[in-house]
Amino acid sequence: MKPERRLAELRAALKRRNLTGLLVPRADEHLNEYIPASADRLRWLTGFTGSAGLAIVLADRAAMFTDGRYQLQVRAEVDAAHFEIRHSIEQPAEAWLAEALKPGDRLGYDPWLHAEEALAKLRRAVEGAGAALVPAEPNPLDEVWTDRPAPPASPVAPHPAVFSGEDAAAKRVRIGEAVAKAGASAAVLTAPDSIAWLLNIRGDDVPYNPVALAFAILRADGQVSLFLDPARIDPATRAHLGNGVAVEPRAALAPALDRLGAAREAVLVDPRTAPAWFAERLRAAGARLVAESDPVALPKATKNTVEQAGARAAHRRDAVAVCRFLAWLDREAPTGALTEVEAAERLLAFRAEGERFRGESFPAISGAGPNGAIIHYRATGASNRRIVAGDVYLSDSGAQYLDGTTDVTRAVLVGDPPADIGEIRDRFTRVLKGHIAIATLRWPKGVAGPHVEAMARRALWDVGLDYDHGTGHGIGSYLSVHEGPTGLSRAARPIPLAPGMILSNEPGFYAPGRWGIRLENLVLVVEAPFEGAAKSFLGFETLTLAPFDRRLIEPALLIPSERSWIDAYHARVAHEVGPLLDPADRMWLAAACRPL
């Protein structure tokens, strides 16, 4: 069905429901970043395949909103004849609604697909225009999506304490105490990775994220009601969960919330991450809501010593695959015989040979030349480009291992340098300087990611340049590759960085239509004391082990301490990874890691 036909059928469905329009976010009932095919309504309606976006469909016009990461991609995938393309930061949906709606209009929303906090901003804009924001359940789009896939239902498996580092029963008690401290008798958990971490379980419901789609209610005494199909729990997993966890079908969720309301209980619901349906249902039932953050989020982000050791081990194994790939690419790509898809497939094959490998942690970005400038590019049959000499090739990829999650980006030169190599080296080195600024940073306890993120941009800002994405995101432990609540971004919440947190360090620069540069390692927050400090300081331990392309570094732009960091990092890569490679790749790595 063509996009214009889908729009026409959706508008007809809205008219039958007496609705002027509908919000169509890229979201599922858990507000996940990666969602099952059965929930990808935005892609079905618009063709957009990115991980963040919102369409608004009115009777006579429609708009598509996404952030800076996807501005090139959205224009390639969404028909501008039917959707106005907007930058969600510079041209927010609220402003568009204030201009597009008329008094008396009724804009529908699915309460399962919007967090209450985000919905409140939209509501203010809608009501300011004299219109009304009204719940539309069931979702009107589902009436016309006739070939919608079935929802996933993978088996649920235990995640052993040898990898998690803490028994699930102890976690339940610990987080239950935090719920009580927040003034609640129960907490609603809607994020599948929070439930997976709390109960030490994993699943395969969502691409790239080893989680089972479920909801849970955690009582202050540590008892849990887990809502998903009990048939997905085999006897071994049932024994692993223990007597403190009751497994109930999804249909039991609404009555359970109603009982909390009838008892006038205080229930913790995260207004930023929980679908608005939960708060609406609980209020209607008579519960008192405690609007606090997901009580699992921060403990999950703060990895224990077992998880930290697992991350180091996973990154060493991952480094073998990445270094083998870079050596192979350096040999094969200049011939012009490789395509972007073939390169991504070879990297995946190298990783698949590694111990405890469970799959990619996100769809690999394999972009040559102009495709590398598309920040979240994904090669398809239509876009797949041949890698040729003179290209800057960008590879952003990661893996899931039983003991850790990885994410690494390198930009490399293919063959002989192009005519604009001087400009490329300048931009590459400025990005590298920003990377080093974060890698070497030490800061007093209490400082948050948004407070330090600008340091990664300084060398670019010095010449009037910037990049349109955050510098770093949190990373799970065999969980989500993009994990809250911390981040190195102006948009991140100011939550202090703490020992045990793992984040990415990935500044970049993009020349649209020409090339893209992004240099990413994962870093672990550690104690970093030094003599004479007036208070406790923290720093980063770099986990990722892969060389930066020396051919793209302009040494004259580096100060001595930056050159020393690069040389020391490359020496470490050669020392730790080299012995794990075959002779030919070891020789390549030794050359790639020579001092500047």
| CATH number of the domain encompassing residue 581 | 3.90.230.10
In a domain, 183, yes or no: yes
In a domain, 149, yes or no: no
Residue 3: per-residue pLDDT: 79
Contact 577, 320 (CB under 8 A): yes
In a domain, 134, yes or no: yes
Are both 260 and 125 inside the same structural domain? Answer: no
Compute CA distances 392 → 17, 109, 363, 510, whole Å.
52, 43, 20, 11
Are both 342 and 466 inside the same structural domain? Answer: yes
In a domain, 26, yes or no: yes
Are both 423 and 472 inside the same structural domain? Answer: yes
Tokens found for residue 49 = 């395949």
Query: Cα(568)–Cα(570) distance, rounded to whole angstroms?
Result: 5
Residue 72: per-residue pLDDT: 85
Domain boundary among 293, 311, 327: 293
Task: Using a cut of 0.85, tell me whether the model's pTM lies above it.
Answer: yes
Are both 188 and 308 inside the same structural domain? Answer: no
Contact 290, 132 (CB under 8 A): no
Are both 286 and 403 inside the same structural domain? Answer: no
Query: Cα(173)–Cα(494) distance, rounded to whole angstroms?
Result: 27
Give start and end residues of each alpha helix (H) in 17-131: 41-46, 71-77, 93-100, 116-128
In a domain, 519, yes or no: yes
Are both 408 and 549 inside the same structural domain? Answer: yes
Are both 130 and 189 inside the same structural domain? Answer: no
pLDDT in tens, 70-107: 888 899 899 899 999 999 888 999 999 999 999 999 99
Are both 177 and 107 inside the same structural domain? Answer: no
Are both 127 and 26 inside the same structural domain? Answer: yes
Are both 85 and 192 inside the same structural domain? Answer: no
Total structural domains in the chain? 3
In a domain, 150, yes or no: no
In a domain, 152, yes or no: no
Residue 326: per-residue pLDDT: 98
Query: Cα(523)–Cα(471) distance, rounded to whole angstroms?
Result: 12
Are both 363 and 408 inside the same structural domain? Answer: yes
Are both 9 and 116 inside the same structural domain? Answer: yes
Tokens found for residue 117 = 């906090």
In a domain, 382, yes or no: yes
Q: Which domain holds residue 313?
A: 302-592
CATH of the domain at 84: 3.40.350.10
Compute the half-sphere exposure of residue 341: CA atoms within 13 Å on the CB side of its CA.
7
Domain boundary among 233, 261, 293: 293
Domain boundary among 120, 144, 168: 144
pLDDT beneath 70: ranges in the chain = none
